A and B are shown apart, each in its own frame.
Chain A
Amino acid sequence: MIDSASSQTLPVTLPVLATVGINKRFHQLQASDNISLQLRPGEIHALIGPNGAGKSTLIMQIAGELKPDSGHVLLNGDDVTGLSTAARARAGLARTFQVSALAAENSVLQNTLLGCLGAQGRRLGMFKSVMRAGKLRENAEEALQRVGLLDQANARAAEISHGQRRQLEIAIALTLKPKAFVMDEPMAGLGTSGSAFLISLLDGLRHEAPILLVEHDMDAVFALADRISVLVYGQIIASGTVKEIRQNAAVKKAYLGEDI
């Protein structure tokens, strides 16, 4: 492990999001093996690893969709391991999905408004139109503007392109004004120009809230990540800066291949 070496180069601050010794077992498969990760303020922390390494399982435990067998998830220092997904979202965790989870029959704007409703945290109005002009709608439109999707506001989520759905996922996460983002392969299936746009968006976003980024696109990871953790067979085999990971022999052997 080279984590101790890299932590000296960064200011020691309380991590926004952390897992402490998370274990998860499915029958014979140890999907998470004593995983401890830290997401610090202002950083993009990339989580990479081959297919089946347990990345999605880890994300699901962080987001609250799966319960770890042992270990803890900390958000801003508070133990949220016992909280539901919804409660974690209210506590400031914004997660995007690998396969877009959207209200497909509703419009792009309505999907974004949904995020604003969640962020607002008040009882849901039952009688007033949710579409009426106001703070809620302004926030939704601002988020769409930022991801470059405002011109598609009235289109159904089912009818926009795959790339636009990825943008919408991020717009919804933005409306939550979270303390930490957890993004599960936001670049998946995007073309070169789409990726480039998203990279520049995420690059700026890290200063609003740090991002735990699960990603297969290595160009994106190397362009964005402040630190990288490598997950293989449920274990973090290395954690460090981009440079350190590129040079790490174990990582090369386990995952990245020769030309890196």
Chain B
Amino acid sequence: MRRETIINSLLLGALLCFPIWAAFVDEPFYISLATRVAIFALAGVGLNIALGLGGLVSFGHASFFGLGGYAMGVLASHAQTYTPVMELPFLIEGTNSMPVIWLVAMGLSGVAAALIGALSLRTSGVYFIMITLAFAQMFYYFTISWSAYGGEDGLSIYVRNTFPGLNTLDPIQFFGISFVLLSLALCLFARFQNSAFGLALNAARQSPARVETIGITPYRIRLLAFVISGMITGLAGALFADLNRFVSPSMFSWQTSGEIMVFVILGGVARLCGPVAGAIVFVALEHVLGGLSEYWHIYLGSILLVIVLFARGGIVGLLAGRQVVHD
């Protein structure tokens, strides 16, 4: 077995066992920490498709995380007050069914990613970073002034949404849902990475001229990658809102974009379980150091600096060595 496969199994195993242990010793707080890790990792897996496979440094993935969050917030708040989301031109009712909310979150994020991507993928480098950031900031300021849904104060949802056959208010069951979705996203990522699409996307990152010369247009495959990437991060946003039963404009903030990027870079860009490792370390630091000082980001920054300077493959790269091309 490859070393990276072993590391990946250990990471996912640890993420699975920790909350189960916490459930046995009745520490629901630790379960919610693990759920936070799984959701952050899911957002990171989304970004990793654009950033890792496609080399698209999106500093605006908060757009999709926030859209997912607000999809949940808006639908659930209307279900809570028994009012329709809108009546004209056609009736849309609120809902508190998770699968429906997920589909709406992914659909909205996908459409937004298609529009944002179609414009921003015409640029590259620093301009791409700035345009994606600008879109996220537009959403941020829009939601701040969107008083119908709490504006700056955000929106609280009193009851967690439902999933058929499960009690989502039981922390370990909600963790299970998050973990399964993370696993599915990881399977998808692994498939993409080894597929024809992944190869062309990866080659377009390294040498766009080469890809054009063989008759493939980089723009199209990048746009597709960006849309899928946004949809996965949007799904994570919906789960995150459900975890906290709260949405606020801060989900759209540039700090959120930065954090999602940190999960990926800390864990290992383009590495399958990079975002998982990154999210584990992020949440662990947040929990341990956040208790000591509110300026814990200083330590996170130092670690990130060391990783970027000395371990280009992130934590996974440090543990598993260079990525294997193929056998």
Contacts and interface: CB of A to CB of B under 8 A. Distances in A.
Contacts of B199: 106, 110, 113-114, 117, 130
Contact of A106 (B197, B206, B217): B206
A176 interface: yes
A127 interface: yes
B326 A154 contact: yes
A3 interface: no
A78 to B, nearest CB: 16
Contacts of A110: 199, 203, 325-326
A124 B197 contact: yes
Interface string B294-327: 0000000000000000000000000000010111
B194 interface: yes
A129 B195 contact: yes
Interface residues of A, number: 41
Interface string B188-226: 000110111111101100110111111111000100000
Contacts of A63: 213
Interface residues of B, number: 27
A106 B194 CA distance: 12
A85 B199 CA distance: 19
A101 B210 contact: yes
A24 B192 CA distance: 42
A131 interface: yes
Secondary structure type dominating chain B contacts: helix
A89 B191 contact: no
Interface string A230-245: 0000000000000000
B212 A103 contact: no
A106 B199 CA distance: 9
Interface in A104-161: 104-107, 109-111, 113-115, 117-119, 121, 124-131, 154, 156
A126 B49 CA distance: 12
A37 B27 CA distance: 78
B195 A89 contact: no
Contacts of A95: 213
Contact of B209 (A65, A87, A109, A156): A65
A126 B216 contact: no
A85 B213 CA distance: 6
Given A127-B195, A176-B215, A106 B210 contact: no
Interface in B265-291: none
B210 A90 contact: no
A205 interface: no
Contact of A90 (B192, B200, B215, B327): B215
B207 A128 contact: no
A84 interface: yes
A89 B213 contact: yes
B197 A86 contact: no
B206 A126 contact: no
A219 B70 CA distance: 69
Residue in B207, B213, B217 with the greatest tally of chain A CB atoms within 10 Å: B213
Interface string B47-86: 0000000000000000000000000000000000000000
A222 interface: no
B214 A117 contact: yes
A154 B326 CA distance: 7
A127 B191 contact: yes
B214 A172 contact: yes
Residue from A130, A156, A172 whose CB has the most chain B CB atoms within 10 Å: A130
Interface in B23-66: none
Contact of A118 (B209, B216, B327): B216
Nearest to A126: B197
A50 B20 CA distance: 73
Nearest to A182: B213
A119 B196 contact: no
A90 to B, nearest CB: 4
Nearest to B200: A124
A131 B213 contact: no
26 contacts: A63-B213, A84-B212, A86-B211, A86-B212, A97-B210, A101-B207, A101-B213, A103-B202, A103-B210, A105-B325, A110-B203, A110-B326, A118-B214, A119-B215, A124-B195, A125-B195, A126-B198, A127-B195, A128-B196, A130-B196, A131-B194, A131-B326, A172-B214, A175-B214, A176-B214, A176-B215
The 5 closest A-B pairs by CB, nearest first: A118-B214, A89-B215, A103-B203, A118-B215, A90-B215
Interface of A: 63, 65, 84-87, 89-90, 94-95, 97, 101-107, 109-111, 113-115, 117-119, 121, 124-131, 154, 156, 172, 175-176
Given A124-B196, A124-B216, A124-B221, 5 more contacts: A89-B212, A104-B207, A113-B199, A126-B192, A130-B196
